[in-house]
Structures are given as C-alpha cells and as structure tokens.
Amino acid sequence: MIEINLLPKQYYKKGINLSFGKTGLYAIAGVIGIMCMLAGVTFYQWQQVKKLDNNIAKARQRAAMLQKDIQLVDALLDVKNKIRDRMAAVERLDSHRSSWVRILENLATDVPEFVWLARFTELPLENPDTTKSDAEQAEARLVRPVEIEGYTFTLNALAAFMINLMRSNYFDNVELTSTTEKTFGEQKAYNFVLSCNLHYLSDEELRGLIAQADNPGSKAGAPTRHQSLN
C-alpha cells in the first residue's frame, strides 16, 4: 500500500536530530568523567568518615577503660603516700627510740601539780641551712622545735612547769605562745601553748651529762647545756 502525504510542508512532523559533533562528544565525555570523579571522591570521603566514626567509638571505649585505671592508680598512690608517711613516722620514732623514752619520762617529771598536758607536737624544720657540713646538719637535726599544749588551774603552776622545762637537758628556749581562760563546769582553768626546742640526747651524751653531774669539775662526755640532769 502506498501512502501519499498531501499536507503542506509546515505541517510535517519533524524528527529529533541529535548531532553533537566531536566537540559535543568531548564535552559529554568530560561531564561524565567529572561526575565519576565526584562520585569516587564522595565514596572515598564516606569511607573515611565511617572509619573516623569507628576510631572515635574505639577511643571513647578506651578512654572509659583508662579512666577506671586512672582512678585505681590514684587510689594506689594515695595508699602509698599514707604508708610512706606512717613509715617516716615509725623511722623517726625508731631512730630516737631510747631518746623518746627518756624525753617522755623527763617531761612527765617536769609536770607539777595542777597542770595536765593535752598535746605534744614536733614541728618541721624551717629553712634548713644547706651551707653547713653533713656533720653540722646531722647535729642540727637532733634539735627540733616542738609545741606543748595543756591546761592549768593556776598561773603559778604554769610558771613552775616552764622553769622545770628550762632546767631540763632536753628542752630550751621555752616560751609561752598563748594562754586562754577556759571554764569547765564551775571550775576555771587556763589553756596554754608553749614553744621550745627539743634536744635528742644520745646514750653517749647522756652518760656524759650524768658523769658531769656527779663530778662537776670533770669535762667527760659531750658538751652539756645544763649542769644538772633531771
């Protein structure tokens, strides 16, 4: 069958003619290449972000584990410091074990009637002189400042206590730091604080003091600070 189109030319159906030429093909190829490159970069960045999220989650988990370890280490350090302080106190007491027995015995005999003690504190040395020799520094460590706190019913009893300390071979530079009137029920008393220097006497020094007390004219033993031994 033969079909004849009798319509005018302006009414003819025009077909789509895609003709880009070489330049158009190159442009399309370039656009497709850029799109592929952007897709590749996006995929790579997405993989990197996912990897970073995994690392962050692992780091947070590790930080939580380390926090527990840090708390455990802090607790152990606190225990270590407490043990070290106790060991230091024991070493100080042990280094002057015999001296402390004599010091406390001497202090007990120095306390008169109407006086009772509440606190005996050894104070740390302030600004030690590092220019002295080792022997001089060792000798200086045998003299430590102390504070004595107690109560008395009369100021005369307190004065007698201070005089007894001044006469002792273990204490010197005795000074009254403070005194406050206290009331215990209907009875009034005085709370006092004394500061003084405490001397640790070795057995040799003590024997020298005893020998000099027995023979005032002799010079046996170590140098003494008093002429009598309490």
Does the residue 76 lie in any domain?
A: yes
**Same domain assignment for residues 122 and 36:** no
Do 126 and 204 belong together in one domain?
yes
Global confidence as pTM = 0.49
Report the number of distinct structural domains present in the chain. Answer: 2
Helices marked H in the chain — which ranges?
21-95, 97-110, 134-141, 155-167, 203-214
**Domain final position from 49, 64, 95:** 95
CATH of the domain at 163: 3.30.70
d(C-alpha 93, C-alpha 134), whole Å:
21
Taking each helix axis from N to C terminus, what angle separates 155-167 and 97-110, rounded to the nearest 10 degrees?
Answer: 140
Are 167 and 204 in a shared domain?
Answer: yes
Residue 118 near residue 151, CB atoms below 8 Å: yes
Is residue 122 located within the same domain as residue 71? no
Find all residues with CB under 8 Å of 28, minimum gap 6, and list them. 20
- Of 62, 95, 128, the one marking the end of a domain is 95
Structure token digits, residue 12: 């003819």
Has residue 3 been placed in a domain? no
Shared domain for 129 and 204, answered yes or no, is yes
**Same domain? 71 vs 155:** no
Residues 206 and 116 in one domain: yes
**Does 199 map to a domain?**
yes
Question: How far is 205 from 222, CA to CA, in rounded Å?
Answer: 5
Q: Which of 63, 95, 127 is the endpoint of a domain?
A: 95
Domain contains 63: yes
CA distance 99 to 200: 6
The boundaries of the domain holding residue 56 are: 22-95
Tens digit of pLDDT at every position of the chain (230 positions): 666 666 666 655 555 555 556 677 777 778 888 888 888 888 888 888 888 888 888 888 888 888 888 888 888 999 999 998 888 777 766 666 777 888 889 999 999 999 999 999 988 876 655 565 554 555 555 788 999 999 999 999 999 999 999 998 889 999 999 999 988 888 899 999 999 999 877 666 666 666 766 676 554 444 444 443 44
Q: pLDDT per residue over 104-131, tens digit each?
A: 899 999 999 999 999 999 888 766 555 6
